[in-house]
Amino acid sequence: MRRRSARRLFGVLAAGTVAFTLFTSAPTAGATASVSTASVTQSAHEDAQPLSTRTPVVFVHGYTGNASNWVTAMSVFRLNGWSSSDLFAYEYDSYGNNVTNAQGLAAFVNGVKARTGASKVAIVNHSMGGLVSQYYLKVLGGNTSVSHLASIAGANHGTTYAGACLIYTTCQQMYPGSSFIAQISSGDETPGATRYATWYSACDGIIIPYTSTRLDGATNNNVVCQTHIGFLADTVVLGQIARFIAS
As annotated, the active-site residues are 127, 204, 228
Rounded alpha-carbon distances, angstroms, from residue 151 to 4, 115, 135, 231, 238: 27, 24, 13, 11, 11
The answer to whether residues 84 and 59 touch, using CB atoms and an 8 Å cutoff, is: no
DSSP letter assigned to residue 50: -
The answer to whether residues 38 and 190 touch, using CB atoms and an 8 Å cutoff, is: yes
Please tell me the distance from the alpha carbon of residue 149 to that of residue 244, in angstroms, as a whole number: 9
Please tell me the distance from the alpha carbon of residue 127 to that of residue 155, in angstroms, as a whole number: 5
Q: In a 10 Å sphere around its CB, with 0-12 CB exposed, 13-18 middle and 19+ buried, how is residue 2 labelled?
A: exposed
